[in-house]
Structure 1
Amino acid sequence: MASDVERFGEMPDGPTVHRVTLQKGAMRAQVLTLGAIVQDLRLEGASHPLVLGAGTLAPYLGPMHYFGATVGRYANRIANGAFTLNGQTHRLSCNFRGRHCLHGGELGCAEQLWTLADATAETATLTLTLPDGDMGFPGRLSIVLTIALSDAAISFDHSATTDRDTVCSLSHHGYFVLDDSGSLAEHGLRIAAEHYLPVDDDLIPTGRSAPVAGTGFDFQTPRPLQDVALDHNFCLSDAPAVLRPVAWLRSDRSGLQMQVATTEPGLQVYTASHLPQAGAIGHDGRALRRHAGIALEAQHWPDAPNRPDFPSATLLAAQTYRHTTRYSFDRTNQTEPPQ
C-alpha cells in the first residue's frame, strides 16, 4: 500500500481517524477514513482550496459532519422516515426535523469509520459494511468506494451489494468553491436539466417533476449564483446512464471552472444556506458564511422509495449498485458547455 497515511484525530469513543494524501499531476487531495471525507482538495496554481473543509476533526463531528463526506445508504430525504418494499414497511431513523430520514439516518455513511482497504499515490479505496436493519434499512449492504485523482480531476467510483432487497443511493457531499472570496457571489452555474423537483416546506418533493423553463430554476444557460438559495434536485434522466457531463461551475474572479460528470439520474444542488453556524470554521481559520460553497450531489431522486413514478432506487439482492461521478477542473474552455 504505497501512500501517505497519517493520524488525523480520535473519535470520542477512541478509534483513530486516519488521513490519506493523494497526488496526481496538478491535483492533490486529502481523504479521511471518517465518512470517506475529502478534507482538502487543491489544484496547482490555485492558492485556495477547492472545497470547504476543516483542519481538525472536531468540526466534522458537529456542524460540518456532511462536509466532503459520502452520504447514504440513501442520500437525501425519505419522507416520513418510511418506505414499503416487497410488501413490507420499513421504519427509518428520522434525523431531519424529527420526521424524515436524511442521508441514511442519524448514523449514516457520513458518520461511520470506513476501512482504508487499499491506497496508491493517486487512489484510495475505502470499504464500509452496514448490517441488516441498520437505521431501519433492510439488507446487509457492502460498499466499496474508490477515490482517484487524474491530472486535473477527482472521481468517485461506488459499488455496493446487498444480501436482501433494499434501496441504495450514495453521493459525494463536497462543498465546492472556485475562488478565495469565501462565497459564491462571483460564480456562475449551468445544469443540463430541463426539469426539477418542487418541494414542500420540509424539502420533500411535492409530486411530479416540473419544467425549469420560465422559473428561477432554469440553469440551462449559465446564471450567476449571487444570493441564490438552492436545495433542490435537478432531473438529469429517467434512469442511471453512461458517464456524461451534467453541470458546469465557473468563478469569474479566478477564471477557474469545474465540470461535473455522472452516471446518476439526479443532481441535488445546495448552496449552503444553513451557514453561518457556530463551529463551522474553514481551512483559513475564518467562520464559513452563508453561501460559502456549493454541493453538487449526484444521486437518485429524493424520496424515490415512496414514488413509483421516480427512477427506481431499489437494489435487488442479485444486483450490484454502481455509480461514478467525476469533478474536473481547468482554466480553459475545455469544460465549458455549448451555448
Structure 2
Amino acid sequence: MQKDNIFLISMKFFNLIQQHTIANEHLKLVTINHGASVQKLFFKDVNNQEINVVLGFKNPDDYLNNPAFIGNSIGRYAGRLKKGFTINGDYYPLYHEEGVHLHGGKEGFSAKNWEVEEIKNGENPFIKYTYYSKDGEEGYPGNLKVSVTYKLNGKSFIIFYEAETDKTTHLNLTNHNYYNLNGKGSVRNHCLKVNTNQFLEFTPDKLPSGNILNTTGTPYDFSKEEKLMDKKDFKGVDNCFLINNPEPVATLYSESTGIEMKVKTNQPAIVIYTPQNLPAGNYNNSFSEFSSICFEAQGYPDAPNQPEFPSTLLKKGEKYTNHSIFEFDIRS
C-alpha cells in the first residue's frame, strides 16, 4: 500500500509539468513550467534548415533531474553567495554547502512549478510564468511575486523578469540557457566577442574577492572576435564579466550554420560559462566536450556581502526588472 501511495504522488507531480510552444515567422520556442525553463529554441540556418540553438532534454520530465540548471530560471539569487547576509542589522542565514550558497539554495526557483499567467499567439507571441515565493523560503526575507515573460519579436528572443516584495530582500534572477548554434557537437568552433574589459577575481571557492581585473592579456580577453578553439590554452570560460560598454554585450557566431546571436541586457554583469563536460542526461542531441555556452545576465555575485558592488536590494514598493534580448540572424 505504501509503494502504491508513493507511485500515485509521483504521477501527480509529473502531471503538473506542462509544455508550451509559441512561434513567429523566424523563431519557435518550447518551454515548460518546471523551473520556467526553455526546452527548445529553433532558428533556420544559412541552408534554411531548422536548428535547435539551445541544449535541452528530450522530455519535460527529464528536467526533474537537472543538476546543471539547463534552461532554468534561477532565483532568488543567481550565482554564488556566502552563507548569509545582513539587512538593517538582521542576519539571514541561507542554505549553503561548504560556506557557499548557489543559485537560490537547496530548492531554488529552478525546482519549482511556475504558474502560467498568460499565453499570446500572433505576430509577437509570448508566454508569461509566475511564481510566489513565501517569506523565509530558503532563508530569504519577504513574500516575493516573480514573473518571467518569454517573447518572440521578429528575430529576437526576449527574456523579461519582474518581481515585487513586501519586505526588503536581496534578489538576482537570471536565465540559464546553454546555447549551441550548430544544435549539436561542440561550441569550440564558434566565434565569440565580448564587449567588456573587466571581470571579477574569484577566490578558490568561486566567490568574488572584491577585486575587479582587466581582461587584457588574460584568457578572458574576447575584445576581438575569435574562435574558441583558437584561443591559446583554452580551458573553458566560467567568470563574471562587468558590462561597461555599449550593446551588444556579446556576439556568438557559427560558420557552420551561419547563425549569429547578439546578446543585449539591462543588467550590470553577465556570467559566461562553457561547461567542459555535461552531467549524464537524456539530451535532445549528441554533444561533445565544451558542448555549449551560457550568457547569464544578472547582478554581481555575492553583492549582499560586497559593499563596493552595485546593490541587489529590493524594497517594498519597488519593482525589479531584468531584460535580456538575444538577436538572431544569418551573417552575410
TM-score between both structures, scaled by the size of structure 1: 0.88
User: Which residue of 2 is the match for residue 326 of structure 1?
Assistant: 325
User: Which residue of 2 is the match for residue 229 of structure 1?
Assistant: 236
Matched, 1:69 2:68: no
User: Which residue of 2 is the match for residue 148 of structure 1?
Assistant: 151
Q: Secondary structure at the residue paired with 1:220? A: coil
Contact 2:93–2:139 (Cα < 8 Å) also in 1:
yes
Q: How far 1:200 moved relative to its partner? A: 1.9
Tell me how far apart the structure 2 counterparts of residues 90 and 70 of structure 1 sit (CA, whole Å): 23
Contact 1:196–1:212 (Cα < 8 Å) also in 2:
yes
Map 1:1-339; keep pairs closer than 5 Å: 13=13, 15-44=15-44, 45-63=48-66, 66-79=69-82, 81-94=83-96, 97-121=97-121, 122-226=125-229, 227-237=234-244, 244-273=247-276, 275-278=277-280, 280-284=281-285, 286=286, 288-332=287-331
Count how many residue pairs are aligned between Structure 1 and Structure 2.
313
The Cα offsets for residues 211-262 of structure 1, whole Å up to 9 and x where unpaired, read as 111211111111222244111000014xxx9x94211001122221100010
Deviation >3 Å, runs of 4+: 10-15
Tell me how far apart the structure 1 counterparts of residues 179 and 62 of structure 2 sit (CA, whole Å): 17
User: Which residue of 1 is the match for residue 5 of structure 2?
Assistant: none
Give the structure with the higher percent helix.
Answer: 2
The Cα offsets for residues 171-202 of structure 1, whole Å up to 9 and x where unpaired, read as 01000001144111211111111100121222
User: Which residue of 1 is the match for residue 4 of structure 2?
Assistant: none
Q: Secondary structure at the residue paired with 1:60? A: helix
Q: Secondary structure at the residue paired with 1:323? A: strand
The 1:21–1:181 alpha-carbon spacing in structure 2 relative to 1, beyond 3 Å, is: closer
The Cα offsets for residues 80-138 of structure 1, whole Å up to 9 and x where unpaired, read as x21111111111111xx443111111111111100001001221011001001100011
Q: How far 1:55 moved relative to its partner? A: 1.2
TM-score between both structures, scaled by the size of structure 2: 0.89
Q: Which has the larger radius of gyration?
A: 2
Q: Could you tell me which amino acid in structure 2 is paired with residue 90 of structure 1?
A: Y
Q: Could you tell me which amino acid in structure 1 is paired with residue 38 of structure 2?
A: V
Q: How far 1:25 moved relative to its partner? A: 1.2
Q: How far 1:151 moved relative to its partner? A: 2.1
- Percent identity, aligned pairs only, is 29
Tell me how far apart the structure 2 counterparts of residues 65 and 13 of structure 1 sit (CA, whole Å): 21
Tell me how far apart the structure 2 counterparts of residues 309 and 11 of structure 1 sit (CA, whole Å): 48
Tell me how far apart the structure 2 counterparts of residues 58 and 161 of structure 1 sit (CA, whole Å): 30
The 1:184–1:228 alpha-carbon spacing in structure 2 relative to 1, beyond 3 Å, is: farther
Contact 1:26–1:151 (Cα < 8 Å) also in 2:
yes
Q: Secondary structure at the residue paired with 2:138? A: helix
Q: How far 1:322 moved relative to its partner? A: 1.0
The Cα offsets for residues 137-178 of structure 1, whole Å up to 9 and x where unpaired, read as 111110121110122121011110000000111101000001
Tell me how far apart the structure 1 counterparts of residues 155 and 264 of structure 2 sit (CA, whole Å): 14
Runs of at least 5 residues in structure 1 that lack an aligned partner in the other structure: 1-9, 334-339
Let me know the Cα RMSD of the aligned residues: 1.9
